[in-house]
């Protein structure tokens, strides 16, 4: 790890995001198919299979769009170590840049769920001293070497505190 260099999440993040998105997509798709069948039986007593094919087509198009979206999102998700802050940038159309001063970082946790274990990655969660819950936790979804990343961040946090103490003396 080095400063002022853009790092990307692991390529395995795409798999994790796709599985999570696919689960939601399948649920919504099945509900739409069932709703379409019910509506077609009640209001349009014609061939139900035409509606099923339309929904299957839309489902496939949705999956292809999800794959493109995930690829672009991954490509635009970067994190950088600066001298005094940790920067996370993400977004495709609307870009978000989160700047986390090392002095505000309180905890850095490594989280392994079954999917991350299967892929050999981990989720790294950075907790800050922010009072707003939505601004106090930042997640790096798929990190191949989480221990190295956490150690590097904590060295920066501790180094920053050490530097501040020396200036106070």
Model pLDDT for residues 86-125, shown as the tens digit of each residue: 999 999 999 999 999 988 888 899 999 899 999 999 999 9
Strand-strand pairing, 85-90 and 105-111 = unpaired
Task: Taking each helix axis as running N to C, give the angle between helix 48-75 and helix 12-43, from 0 to 180 degrees, rounded to the nearest 10.
Answer: 160
The first and second tokens of residue 131, run together, are 């009072």
Q: What is the pLDDT of residue 160?
A: 61
Question: In the chain, what percentage of residues exceed pLDDT 90?
Answer: 29
Q: What is the number of helices (H) and of strands (E) in the chain? A: 4, 7
Q: What is the pLDDT of residue 7?
A: 86
Mean pLDDT over 41-64 rounds to 72
Does residue 160 sit within a domain?
Answer: yes
Residues 16 and 31 in one domain: yes
Q: What is the pLDDT of residue 131?
A: 72
Residues 123 and 92 in one domain: yes
More confident residue, 16 or 163: 16
Does residue 3 sit within a domain?
Answer: no
- The conformational region for residue 44 under phi > 0 = left, psi -120 to 50 = alpha, else beta, is beta
Q: What is the pLDDT of residue 166?
A: 46
Give the pTM. Answer: 0.74
Residues 108 and 88 in one domain: yes
Nearest C-alpha neighbor of 79 from the set 153, 159, 157, 160: 153
H or E segment at 120?
none
Residues 160 and 85 in one domain: yes
Any idea what the Cα angle at residue 149 is, between residues 143 and 152, rounded to 5°?
Answer: 170
Q: Among residues 74, 94, 125, which one ends one of the domains?
A: 74
Neighbouring C-beta atoms of residue 128, cutoff 10 Å = 19
Mean pLDDT over 2-10 rounds to 81
Average pLDDT score, the chain? 82
Residues 58 and 111 in one domain: no
Does residue 143 sit within a domain?
Answer: yes
Neighbouring C-beta atoms of residue 100, cutoff 10 Å = 19
Does residue 7 sit within a domain?
Answer: no
Look up the domain containing 132 and give its range. 80-168
18, pLDDT greater than 60:
yes
Does residue 6 sit within a domain?
Answer: no
Which of 43-47, 99-103, 155-159 has the least mean pLDDT? 43-47
Tell me how many domains the chain contains. Answer: 2
Q: What is the DSSP letter of 11?
A: T
Which of 48-57, 105-114, 131-140 has the least mean pLDDT? 48-57
């Amino acid at each position: 790890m080095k400063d002022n260099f853009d790092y990307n999440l692991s390529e395995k993040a795409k798999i994790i995001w796709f599985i999570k998105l696919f689960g939601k997509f399948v649920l919504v798709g099945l509900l739409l198919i069932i709703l379409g069948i019910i509506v077609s039986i009640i209001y349009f007593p014609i061939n139900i299979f035409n509606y099923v094919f339309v929904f299957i087509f839309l489902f496939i198009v949705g999956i292809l769009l999800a794959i493109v979206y995930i690829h672009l999102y991954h490509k635009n998700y970067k994190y950088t170590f600066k001298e005094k802050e940790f920067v996370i940038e993400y977004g495709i159309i609307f870009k978000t840049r989160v700047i986390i001063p090392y002095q505000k970082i309180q905890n850095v946790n490594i989280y392994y769920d079954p999917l991350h274990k299967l892929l050999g990655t981990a989720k790294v969660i950075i907790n800050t001293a922010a009072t707003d819950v939505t601004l106090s936790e930042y997640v790096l979804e798929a990190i191949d070497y989480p221990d190295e990343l956490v150690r590097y961040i904590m060295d920066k946090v501790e180094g920053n505190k050490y530097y501040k103490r020396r200036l106070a003396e």
